[in-house]
Structure 1
Amino acid sequence: MVSRRNVLKSGAALGLFTLAGCAPKGTKASSAPTTPAKSIDVAKAGAVTLTMLDFWGGDSASWVASAVKGFQAKYPNVTIKRTSVDWGQLTQTANLRLKEKNPPDIITVNNGWQSLGTLSKAGLVLNLDGYSKSFGWDKFPSTILRQTQFTTDGAEMGSGSLFATPVASSSLIGLYYNKTVLDKAGVKPPTDLASFEDACTKAKAAGIIPIGYGSQDKGSSTAILLALQDLFGDQKKINDFVYSTGSVKADEIGMSEAAEHLKSYQDKNWLTPNHAGIQYADAIDAFLKGKSAFRFEYTGTLAFKGNQKQEYGYVQLPQATGGKVVGTGASTAVALGSKCAHPDVAAAFLDFLAGPQTAQYVVEAGLLPLLNDVKAPADNPEFGTEITGQRSLDKDNGYVPYFDWSTPSMLDTLGGQVQLLLAGRSTPADLVKAVQADYDKFQAAR
């Protein structure tokens, strides 16, 4: 998963959310699992050159560069030639790049049908099941690992074989707060939905905007809806809906409750006034300037500087019932091209990208690590709260995929429906019906 902060810098702001696409038809089935050597010894592999094509930019570029140098220092016989291009450019041309005469050995891909699903079914990326056993990739939370799994016939997402691996960096959706603003309202940082809504009530009474928001941009306006859905929806049912398993309906996944709560926040004037005319970047700027108490947002988006690292915090709220921590989260997926000449060595590099040394590089870049037990810088307590939030998801294996992966058009549907809902031109029931209609249309075309 790409940090939205880095996507914004690359000029493909809405690209982050366009992660799903139609399942390909009539393409070649993926190959069987690659058979690795019984004992993979990179140091004894001889001189190896690997080419890597990725879309990491901005803050991510530094940790990736460090990871490449770290792996090469560990294995001087390996040279990794890295090329980085724009996110949108790579995701739109990955299939063509992998069909070139000299395709990349390693490539970053997007989760969902449009990217990884298409590439795996076309046999353009390797089936990594054999390497998963060699390197013990079952160490990843199953809710993260299934984001890169497809059946070898390309019919199902979220089960079957592994066609990419996550890296030691992730992005979540959660709740940010401004401690100074909360102090003015006489409340403490919330620990659950009830204390959050109580804090909003008190902030409003104190003349403070409770929730910083801008809904002009469809894609970014949905973060609050998805975060609320995670508080009400059954984790398994959300997963089953997104991955098209079972017969789960849109009114069974917490979307109704999320829309109802969001509508109530609008009715109580808890959202930034005139948010329909506020662009995404302006909404972020206002929050960082202390114009509101809270903001639901993607991690890796808010570039805290100086005293802001002391002033802000983050929390992954537990579910309204039962107290389990469930949250939307993912990692960037990395795959091996089917023509990779040195797959054993390349797979070892994938393992390195998910390991503790790389996680430390990620933290040093100011981004959220995945899995590994790392410490936040002592001078950045805000970042420490993000790591705490992630660990709560790791502990409960509480990840759910980005909901818009469920269909190619779901993000647009959600964004449009949120705009209509908050404008008083739609209802929570209408929103849920629109989600179901979008889903049914996609299923019928598969």
Structure 2
Amino acid sequence: MFKLRAVAALAVAALALAGCGGGSDEPGGSSAEGRTLTLWHYETANSAMGVAWAEAIKQFEATHPGVKVKFEEKGFEQIQKTASMVLNSDQAPDILEYNKGNATAGLLSKQGLLTDLSAEATKRGWDQLLSPSLQTTAKYDERGIMGSGNWYGVPNYAEYVMVYYNKDMFEKQGITAPPTTLDEFTAAMDKFVKAGITPISVGGAEYPAQQIMYQLALSKANRQWVDAFQLYKGKVDFHGPELTFGAQTFADWVKKGYIAKDSAGIKAEDMGLAFMSGKFPIMVSGSWWYGRIADEVKDFEWGTFLWPGNQFSAGSSGNLWVVPEQSKNKDLAYDFIDITMKKDIQNKLGNAGGVPVAADPAAISDEKNKELIDNFNKLAAQDGLAFYPDWPAPGYYDVMVAGVQELINGSKEPSAVLDELAQPYNDNLADIGG
């Protein structure tokens, strides 16, 4: 099976244009006249990806005379829940952003709903632009398990989970930031609670809460455990020290007041808005928020730090460009992916607060953006990318959301929640012959 290697995202920059090339065919051409490329993604306009991809659309239309891009913004949850049905119909777009991992892109590849991009990846040099660790989520075997097999998606950015914090609120409470250990982190949160402030803005109705539980589990994990859980390279004990610590500590954090008891019904968007409005000093979420926070937060100083004390963090390549098997304009979809991998688009993504995979490091001018990229490189260099907790099995996202909601509202004990997480995981392992 595939072994992650410590290769930083921007370390491939030197190879970037050597392998890129964009293929031998001239983009567009007379056959493209009057055609429409239908594109779906769920990034906001002022996010780093939204900014970069808007420019990519402009470049695509400029280099493909007579072709229009019909962009449709979709919600993450909307695509997550309807992809199998829509992509198996004549309503499928030509290209879309889709979640990576066994339970999502892997499942669709196994169902025959995604186009095999292996030949294009070689022809256009995408395989040279992406480091081995970032290619993990692009490839899926016949079982739909990531890390080997054919290319079914192409990421043009990377991402990881970090801690966003309100520097002004930390300073007001006399808290030294950033904390470097979990004990220092919890001591900081204790100070906020004593001051009557709930420390962490949490969205328990969607992905963010489960990522906190996973970060806690990863504090007790090693690479062997991560590969067993994510890549089925060994048996996972759901009542072992990793997940037990994650679930029990998460429940304790609710009891201690670090996490609000009403957060089980909060969506990710509302979590982010609450942090950006200054209501909470901390938000644990991904680098996909970075550009938006940089753009929208004007009333306080903010910063980020890696989860204190961990070697591992939730993170990977970014979401994938996938081409549905039902796409009517696959050649145009390949051209669009190629444009998003160009150095000027990658530089734009980096300067807008994203983590590019093939940018020129010297072209990233903002110091905070450099810190964002440097922290990702640090994780990659220490083999610290641990993917995401909902990836291993189809339908696992909803199982994870329900589990952490039960921990937040106290309706089930951590051990019972871990039993709920174990069942579908082990069922899927049996289904794929594990």
Return the TM-score normalized by structure 1: 0.73
Cα 1:289/1:343, change in 2 over 3 Å: closer
Residue 398 of structure 1: aligned partner? 384
Q: Is the 8 A contact 1:224 1:296 kept in 2?
A: yes
Tell me: CA distance 1:319–1:128, structure 2 relative to 1, closer, same or farther (3 Å): farther
Work out the CA distance in 1 between the residues paired with 2:297 and 2:246.
Answer: 33
Q: Of 33, 44, 50, which residue of structure 2 is paired with 1:58?
A: 44
Equivalent residue runs for 1:34-113 within 5 Å: 40-43=23-26, 46-47=29-30, 49=32, 51-59=37-45, 60-71=49-60, 73=62, 75=63, 79=67, 81-87=69-75, 92=82, 97=87, 100=90, 105-113=94-102
- Cα deviation for residue 312 of structure 1 reads 1.0
CA distance in 1, matches of 2:173, 2:334: 52
Aligned-residue offset at 1:145: 1.8
Aligned 8 A contact 1:42 1:345 in 2: no
Q: Distance in 2 between matches of 1:409 and 1:64?
A: 29
User: Following the alignment from structure 2 to structure 1, what is the Cα–Cα distance between the partners of residues 161 and 84?
Assistant: 27
- Count of aligned residue pairs for this structure pair: 399
Contact 2:116/2:152, CA 8 A, preserved across alignment: yes
Alignment of 1:356 onto 2:339: no
Q: Deviations over 1:370-426 (max 9, x none)?
A: 453456664xx6555433332323333432222112223323333333233344444
- Shift of residue 167, structure 1, vs aligned partner: 1.7
The answer to whether the 8 A contact 1:209-1:272 is kept is no
Question: Does residue 1:130 correspond to 2:119, yes or no?
Answer: yes
In the TM superposition, residue 364 of structure 1 has moved relative to its aligned partner by 5.4
Q: Which runs of 5+ in 2 are unaligned?
A: 1-20
CA distance in 2, matches of 1:234, 1:174: 19
1:209 & 1:236 partners in 2: Cα distance?
38
Distance 1:239 1:131 in 2: 28
- Which of 178, 198, 222 is residue 189 of structure 1 equivalent to? 178
Q: Distance in 2 between matches of 1:352 and 1:69?
A: 10
Q: State the 1:149 CA deviation.
A: 1.7
Distance in 1, Cα, partners of 2:278 & 2:327: 50
**Does the 8 Å contact 1:105/1:340 carry over to 2?**
yes
SS at match of 2:356: coil
Change (3 A) 1:77 1:98: farther
Aligned CA distance change for structure 1 residues 294 and 115 (closer, same or farther; 3 Å): closer
CA deviation digits over 1:76-121, x for unaligned, max 9?
A: 6794634425346656256655764x97654433334565334433
Shifted more, 270-279 versus 387-396: the winner is: 270-279
Partner of 2:283, secondary structure, is: strand
Distance in 2, matches of 1:108 and 1:181, equals 36
Code of the residue aligned with 1:188 in structure 2: it is A
Give the CA RMSD over aligned residues.
3.8
Matches within 5 A, 1:427-442: 427-442=413-428
SS in 2 for 1:258: helix
Give the aligned partner of residue 332 of structure 1. Answer: 319
- Cα–Cα, structure 1 residues 136 and 242, in superposed 2: closer, same or farther, change >3 Å? same
Structure-2 separation of matches of 1:405 and 1:418? 16
State the partner residue of 1:178: 166
After TM superposition, the structure 1 = structure 2 runs for residues 18-417 of structure 1, keeping only pairs within 5 Å, are 40-43=23-26, 46-47=29-30, 49=32, 51-59=37-45, 60-71=49-60, 73=62, 75=63, 79=67, 81-87=69-75, 92=82, 97=87, 100=90, 105-113=94-102, 115-134=104-123, 135-151=125-141, 153-154=142-143, 156-168=145-157, 170-186=158-174, 187-205=176-194, 207=195, 209=197, 211-214=199-202, 217=205, 219-252=207-240, 254-272=242-260, 275=263, 281-301=269-289, 303-304=292-293, 305=295, 308=298, 311-317=301-307, 319-320=309-310, 324-338=311-325, 347=334, 349-363=336-350, 365-370=352-357, 372-374=359-361, 378=366, 383-417=369-403
> Conserved in 2, the CA contact under 8 Å of 1:111 and 1:117?
yes
**Are the equivalent residues in 2 in contact too, given 1:209–1:271 (CA < 8 A)?**
no
Distance 1:83 1:274 in 2: 36
- TM-score, length of structure 2 as denominator length: 0.75
The separation in 2 between residues aligned to 1:217 and 1:415, in whole angstroms, is 6
Q: CA deviation at 1:338?
A: 4.8
Deviations 1:213-235 (A, max 9, x none): 44652544323212323333223
Write the distance in 2 (CA, Å) between the matches of 1:222 and 1:349: 33
Judging changes above 3 Å, is the alpha-carbon distance between structure 1 residues 405 and 350 closer, same or farther for their aligned structure 2 residues?
same
